[in-house]
Structure 1
């Protein structure tokens, strides 16, 4: 296989779940035999699946109580139904995988786990999917995909925050008039349409910058943003239902981390006290100096990749996130506060 892994990293989750398409069943094992990094990631994912399934003989209630395993039969049903992510360019692969993960989780929401289960804010499961319809709809409009959200009273003259709140509230209110199955079908159709666009498959088409929700970024980065939010809300739904949700594969997690670091650097600006920021749990454990370039580093901050994403996603606070700190604690806390301020999910 070629040096760029021929798209194998985005297939590893499906490989771990035993849900590869027939065309990939031979190619992926052949690549793993000759690629140490992909093989290590594949083993990590397979171990995650083993933990999700739980040790043999654990009763269903005990597995649900410890929060780390799906009951026998529940996972098996999810695996049978779990689709593989569509073939897209590298920038859209994390979103494709996040859609695949949420699709599998939503198949568990029926009967035993009601749609009305509270999830986050004042939303239940269906409301959370409705919120994702509205959020994905922002990108859909930019790339010419017909949005599934209803008409909104928001206007172009509104500040983007006010307009966004209006659109998401209108979408959730509309979805509450429909069945959960209709809401999920609308979300699925819209996400599939996004992944079928030229912008999802052609890096050059996705390189042009456009403004969405107050932030001007290349379309490729907006796809990463959609992956980030879809995964965060999948975690929210999983937690509410008592089902563990694994983190994104390392390659996708690294893409999300690097986008979040760029946004954090912009939020801090060039005058902030400089801090050496290290993220562990993604390839190479990357480091950045954030803040001023004209003075010595005042402090050091280390976060696990998943914890950093949960902080930026509003699921950790500056004081609750597990962290390693050396040096000027005030400078480090400033970085943590700015990271938390990025959350709008």
Structure 2
């Protein structure tokens, strides 16, 4: 390969600040004399200007939260459409955690994964959407099998990618994940709501591409939170607008899973919207209110149905059905 080819392969990592020291010397020199690569590098750099949530009125101490400085010195909003904003911010959130990971890659996180494996899993998790959008996989063996059971396929591919990445340094896994994320955020589907309104089948769900971007955001945030907890670091929830988008997706999927035969429950997130889940033809059997972050953690499999804090009235069995179905949605 030529120097030009080598540098183009590094541009996404450059945009994310994930280059090795030797690469940090090579890339700027090449960009200074290659207009094509310089233009592509600038496009990618714009893509990763991601933290577009509102500033906190009183930014917390750096001892309390990982992102205080990033929130106070917030960069310009990304050039992505609203549906891709939560994924852009979730990627930025995990990137903000990276300086804390040096020497701690083997810390147990979730399931039987350590920090390295958790990042490798995210590489695998984003891969399917990347393939659908025409992005080449970064780990050999990627495929889309429409006839296979999606849960088996999901678990098998995640295990394959983790095993592959254990043969690489953690920093190389991070660079691959970062580069794939940048490519996803650089697609036309991330910038064009009309294009992203088209549906595709992923994880057993036929949803608009826009909603698959929200699913990627959900998973990236959940696993960033997993890593933060494992390392004793506070990871803030998504900005309020993004959290509302993730909740909306989770409610739509939950309502589909419950179907029209389930006893109707009036479900609300504290301080937010409310929905009737289940049958629309019967009187509401119960009311259920959850904290918005707790609801996301329940859907993400981080709360057991009987352990999530909640306010309820009415039919306890109807409430339990909603909570159990919500927890069953987890693929994370």
Bucket of the pairwise TM-score, normalised by the shorter protein: 0.7 to 0.9
What is the number of equivalent residue pairs in this alignment? Answer: 283
Matches within 5 A, 1:116-265: 116-151=106-141, 157-265=147-255
Deviations 1:247-294 (A, max 9, x none): 10000000000000000000100000000001124xxx1010111111
Which has the bigger relative contact order, CA under 8 A and spacing at least 6? Answer: 2
- Number of the residue aligned with 2:301: 314
Normalised to the residue count of structure 2, the TM-score between the two structures is 0.80
Q: Which runs of 5+ in 1 are unaligned?
A: 1-22, 24-37, 55-67
The 1:155/1:143 distance shift into structure 2, 3 A limit, reads closer
- Number of the residue aligned with 2:314: 327
Residue 158 of structure 1: how far off its partner (Å): 2.8
- Number of the residue aligned with 1:99: 91
The 1:272/1:209 distance shift into structure 2, 3 A limit, reads same
Q: Distance in 2 between matches of 1:134 and 1:108?
A: 22
- Number of the residue aligned with 2:26: none
Conserved 8 A contact 1:280-1:304: yes
Q: Which runs of 5+ in 2 are unaligned?
A: 1-45, 47-51
Residue of structure 1 aligned with 2:282, choices 268, 273, 295: 295
- Number of the residue aligned with 1:305: 292
Q: Which stretch shifts more, 309-318 or 161-170?
A: 161-170
SS in 1 for 2:83: coil
Q: Distance in 2 between matches of 1:84 and 1:107?
A: 22
Matches within 5 A, 1:276-291: 276-281=266-271, 285-291=272-278
Residue of structure 2 aligned with 1:53, choices 49, 62, 66: 62
- Number of the residue aligned with 2:43: none
Residue 42 of structure 1: how far off its partner (Å): 3.6
Residue 200 of structure 1: how far off its partner (Å): 0.1
Q: Which stretch shifts more, 159-168 or 144-153?
A: 144-153
Q: Distance in 1 between matches of 2:228 and 2:263?
A: 38
Deviations 1:107-140 (A, max 9, x none): 21113xx111000001011100000000100100
- Number of the residue aligned with 1:115: 105
SS in 2 for 1:92: helix
Normalised to the residue count of structure 1, the TM-score between the two structures is 0.77
Residue 152 of structure 1: how far off its partner (Å): 5.3
Q: Distance in 2 between matches of 1:80 and 1:263?
A: 35
SS in 2 for 1:107: helix
Q: Distance in 1 between matches of 2:144 and 2:261?
A: 36
